[in-house]
Amino acid sequence: MRTSAAFALPVLLLAGGCGGAQPAARPEDTMLRQNARAAGLAFSLNRPEQAITRYQQALERARASDDAVAMGDYGYDLVVVQLAANRPKEALASARMTRAELARRNAVSFPALDLAEATALYRLADKAGSDRLAERVEAGSDAAAASRASFLRGLIADDTDNAVGLDEALARLVHPRSADEQGDASELVARQDLRRGSFKAAIGEAEHSADVRRGLLDYRGMARALSVAAVAEYRAGDRPAAAELYLRAGQSAAVQGDTVSARTWLRRVTELGSDPALLEAARVALTSVEKSSASE
């Protein structure tokens, strides 16, 4: 999440005056702080629905105080947890609401919020809108956000059969610094290798990306990388290996509540697999997905 004043220690302000006045502590909004801490704890414990409720409460408290900084911080945090809960429509609405609230207070949006909005647009299949916003973030001064924007643009390019766009996105990630960037670069290289027919190389890069993301607890990215490895195995002619990778990706997506991806990948298991145990595992996971969808 965005590093912000919302998570800083309480600040002590010196009261002006004479005669040796004692320093006075700035009053703290206890209700806002409690909601923010509870939200952060819920998110860390993989309870995004609870985190959403608490961030909404913190955001309401920020409105009560007309605090633009807090509204930007908690508005962004709300978008992040809504994306984690696979609620991209709500995340998009929250991102735009936060931007509007900032504008009313003569404050501007920030790259992390814009990138979160671009991610919501991507998940809602508005790839043109997502790419326009990601391009703006990419051209900004926030290096970390720009890097993730390049990765998002690479995904969009690959999805839309824009090989040149994929190459350009990868060129901007040619020297990855953080683990996040390493995982991103490996996935884009795998997608590039697939387009070039280098299936074995693609498998290795995709599995490396999955390993990096597993270490970062980025399970959504991990599952997507596994699905790329599955495609590579299939095109290399190894249907059983492809089915196993699709099962792993689908099971992870199902547990995360990503029902669209889970259905797609688990159905590929039933199309490619022949091992009875593998097929049964896919059936169980698919049943779980359907039950979860019916209860929403």
Question: CA-to-CA distance for 104 and 111, rounded, in angstroms?
Answer: 18
The predicted-structure confidence for 247-274, as pLDDT tens digits, reads as follows 999 999 999 989 999 999 999 999 999 9
What is the predicted pLDDT for the residue at 39? 86
On whether the CB atoms of residues 184 and 205 are closer than 8 A, the answer is no
Residue 266 lies in a domain: yes
- Structural domain count of the chain: 2
pLDDT band at 166 (very low <50, low <70, confident <90, very high): very high
What is the predicted pLDDT for the residue at 46? 83
Residue 16 clears pLDDT 80, i.e. is over it: no
pLDDT band at 290 (very low <50, low <70, confident <90, very high): confident
Co-location of 189 and 104 in the same domain: no
* Domain stop point among 109, 124, 159: 109
Q: Helix (H) and strand (E) counts for the chain?
A: 14, 2
- Looking at residue 124, its amino acid is L
On whether the CB atoms of residues 42 and 52 are closer than 8 A, the answer is no
Mean pLDDT of the chain: 89
Residue 13 clears pLDDT 80, i.e. is over it: no
What is the predicted pLDDT for the residue at 295? 64
Residue 18 lies in a domain: no
* b/e burial code for range 122-158 (CB count within 10 A of at least 16 → b): bbeebbebbbebbeebbeeebeebbbbbbbbbbbbbb
Co-location of 182 and 102 in the same domain: no
C-alpha 255 chain-centroid distance = 16
Residue 261 lies in a domain: yes
Residue 185 lies in a domain: yes
Nearest to 205 by CA among 180, 222, 188: 188
On whether the CB atoms of residues 81 and 43 are closer than 8 A, the answer is yes
CATH code where residue 215 lies: 1.25.40.10
Residue 21 lies in a domain: no
pLDDT band at 296 (very low <50, low <70, confident <90, very high): low
Give me the mean pLDDT over the 36-46 stretch: 87
Beta pairing partners, 25: 12
Question: CA-to-CA distance for 222 and 227, rounded, in angstroms?
Answer: 9
pTM, to two decimals:
0.86
Residue 24 lies in a domain: no
Residue 27 clears pLDDT 80, i.e. is over it: no
The predicted-structure confidence for 56-90, as pLDDT tens digits, reads as follows 999 999 999 999 999 999 999 999 999 999 999 99
Give me the mean pLDDT over the 181-191 stretch: 97
* Domain stop point among 66, 89, 109: 109
Co-location of 98 and 196 in the same domain: no
Question: CA-to-CA distance for 153 and 132, rounded, in angstroms?
Answer: 9
- Looking at residue 225, its amino acid is A
Residue 157 lies in a domain: no
pLDDT band at 12 (very low <50, low <70, confident <90, very high): very low
Question: CA-to-CA distance for 267 and 272, rounded, in angstroms?
Answer: 9
Give whole-number Cα distances, 261 to 47, 87, 119, 226, 251, in Å.
20, 14, 16, 12, 10
Least confident of 13-22, 41-50, 174-183: 13-22
Residue 236, both tokens: 């290399």
Residue 280, both tokens: 């049964």
Question: CA-to-CA distance for 253 and 125, rounded, in angstroms?
Answer: 18
Co-location of 209 and 286 in the same domain: yes
- For residue 256, the number of C-alpha atoms closer than 13 Å in the C-beta half-sphere is 26
Co-location of 180 and 288 in the same domain: yes
On whether the CB atoms of residues 167 and 192 are closer than 8 A, the answer is yes
* Domain stop point among 91, 109, 127: 109
What is the predicted pLDDT for the residue at 9? 32
On whether the CB atoms of residues 227 and 245 are closer than 8 A, the answer is yes
* b/e burial code for range 70-87 (CB count within 10 A of at least 16 → b): bbbbbbbbbbbbbbbbbb
Residue with tokens 């900032």, as numbered in its chain = 102
The predicted-structure confidence for 114-139, as pLDDT tens digits, reads as follows 999 999 999 999 999 999 999 999 99
Compute the radius of gyration of the chain from its Cα atoms.
Answer: 22
Question: CA-to-CA distance for 51 and 55, rounded, in angstroms?
Answer: 6
Q: Which residue has the higher pLDDT, 228 or 7?
A: 228
Question: CA-to-CA distance for 264 and 255, rounded, in angstroms?
Answer: 14
Nearest to 55 by CA among 31, 67, 38: 38
Q: Which residue has the higher pLDDT, 48 or 224?
A: 224
The residue range of the domain holding 55 is: 29-109
Residue 140 lies in a domain: no
